[in-house]
Amino acid sequence: MIEAATAEQAELLASLHARAFDRPWSAGEISKLMENAAVFAILSRSEREVQGFALAWAAAGDAELLTVAVVPEARRRGVGASLVTSAGVAALVRGAASMHLEVAEDNAAGRALYAKLGYEEAGRRAAYYAGEGGSVDAIVMRRTLPRPLV
């Protein structure tokens, strides 16, 4: 089940982010982002537990997917795809016509998921991510959000 998340859930979101990433965002960082009215978060929940979340913003006809965090035991079960798709729908409702994101060049699973969902490479940010073995480029991906038929 997909549901909206609030700034009051920043601790929960931070704990999910810590389970999904080596360099997690803190509750304070997430809370600060969510102070912006353009920012929104959605949660994926199974019958038993929260499986992940997506954080994005939408303004002036564009949207950006800031992060998608799926806990390890829920990966490869469609959770990431449902979060990305739902974030796109939420952005569309907020007036966005397109959505973009950055993904680490060495994140093959993420890049494959985004491509499967219609995102195309639109650019590159050199040395965007810091890693233990050095920096990694970010691949900028973008897609047009589908307009509903009227």
How distant, in Å, are the alpha carbons of 18, 51, 78, 126 from that of 69? 9, 8, 13, 23
Correct CATH for 2-144 of 3.40.50.10190, 3.30.420.10, 3.40.50.410, 3.40.630.30: 3.40.630.30
Q: Tens of pLDDT along 59-118?
A: 999 999 999 999 999 898 999 999 999 999 999 999 999 999 999 999 999 999 999 999
More confident site: 85 or 148: 85
pLDDT of residue 131: 73
Count how many residues are written for the chain.
Answer: 150
Average pLDDT over residues 37-46: 96
pLDDT band at 133 (very low <50, low <70, confident <90, very high): confident
- Mean pLDDT, the chain, whole residue set: 94
Q: Return the number of other C-beta atoms located less than 10 Å from residue 35's C-beta.
A: 8
pLDDT of residue 149: 65
Residue 42: closest CA among 75, 76, 95, 88: 88
8: which DSSP letter?
A: G
pLDDT band at 132 (very low <50, low <70, confident <90, very high): confident
Domain ranges of the chain: 2-144
pTM of the predicted structure, to 2 decimals = 0.92
pLDDT at 146 over 90: no
pLDDT band at 48 (very low <50, low <70, confident <90, very high): confident
Average pLDDT over residues 21-36: 94
Tokens of 115: 């491509």
